[in-house]
Amino acid sequence: MMLDCALKTEKLNLYYGAFHGLKDVDFCVYRNAITALIGPSGCGKSTLLRCFNRMNDLIDDVKVTGSIFVNDRPIDSIDIIELRKNIGMVFQRPNPFPFSVQDNLLYGLRVHGIPKRQHAEIVERCLKSVDLWDDLKDKRHTSAMNLSEEMKQRLCIARLLTVEPQIILLDEPCSALDPIATLRIEELMIELKKDYTILIVTHNMQQAARVSDHTGFMLLGDLIEFGDTSKIFTAPSDNRTDGYITGRFG
């Protein structure tokens, strides 16, 4: 069952100082699928997500035990620049750089020294991937800060795609968006999973049910249950999962 994990953890524990934030988490994110993490506020969803691009390393007093694998390689054996190129992350609030649309997209290409002659083609490909090309092809030199929230979030996804990641981490990517924009971003995720592996944290259970193939339910740092989304939402094995998805707590 664990054969095709793009991301995997074994007995993963994380402590913020004395606080035990992740408890013996065994988790797998399958390749070319969408995996959702759900659970009440503070249960450790973002903490687990951040383990996969080593963002927790930036926090003082964090201790991690157990194993994390990316494509079956121990995460610590992977160069951090390479890791963050391969695993892109999208945040709750769209965070384009305060530059033009074009310069947002060229940023990663410049950092990674991609030859200039490839830039135009990559920009076009990535804007098309997030369905912004028609809207923005003639506005590439205007500030990204003037876009709608949805377009900013799409641009942030396009910005990741320029450096050809395999895996995309999304931490509540729709929480700043209205319901229509949310549905459109969900359609985009389903489109992107043909080429990418996606891990999404969401508070929106309908969203998890609509977009994901696999779902993990977390509670107080434990991964209580992990399995096919259809099963988690119709016949969960653990009554705490049942309680959460039926709205009895959280």
Ligand X SMILES: Nc1ncnc2c1ncn2[C@@H]1O[C@H](COP(=O)(O)OP(=O)(O)OP(=O)(O)O)[C@@H](O)[C@H]1O
The residues of the shown chain that bind Mg ion, judged by CB under 5 A, are 46
Counting every residue written for the chain, the total comes to 250
Residue 36: CB minimum distance to ligand X, A: 13
Residue 129: CB minimum distance to ligand X, A: 27
**For the sheet containing 5-16, what is the strand order?**
19-30, 5-16, 62-70, 73-74
Window 2-21: contact mask with ligand X (x via CB under 6 A): --------------x--x-x
- If one asks whether residue 47 binds ligand X (CB under 6 A), the answer comes out as yes
What is the rounded distance in angstroms from the CA atom of residue 17 to the CA atom of residue 61? 5
Which of Mg ion, ligand X, none has residue 43 at its interface (CB below 5 to 8 Å by kind)? ligand X
Toward Mg ion, which CB reaches closer, 160 or 170? 170
Window 50-89: contact mask with ligand X (x via CB under 6 A): ---------x------------------------------
- If one asks whether residue 249 binds ligand X (CB under 6 A), the answer comes out as no
* Closest C-alpha to 167, from 38, 34, 74: 34
DSSP state at residue 134: H
Share in percent of the chain as helix, strand, coil (round to 5): 40, 30, 30
What is the rounded distance in angstroms from the CA atom of residue 57 to the CA atom of residue 59? 5
Residue 92: CB minimum distance to Mg ion, A: 8
- If one asks whether residue 45 binds ligand X (CB under 6 A), the answer comes out as yes
Which of ligand X, Mg ion, none has residue 44 at its interface (CB below 5 to 8 Å by kind)? ligand X
User: Which helix (H) or strand (E) is 81 found in, with range?
Assistant: helix 80-86
What is the rounded distance in angstroms from the CA atom of residue 84 to the CA atom of residue 144? 22
Q: Which of 41, 77, 115, 249 binds ligand X (CB under 6 A)?
A: 41
- Return residues touching ligand X (CB under 6 A): 16, 19, 21, 39, 41-47, 59
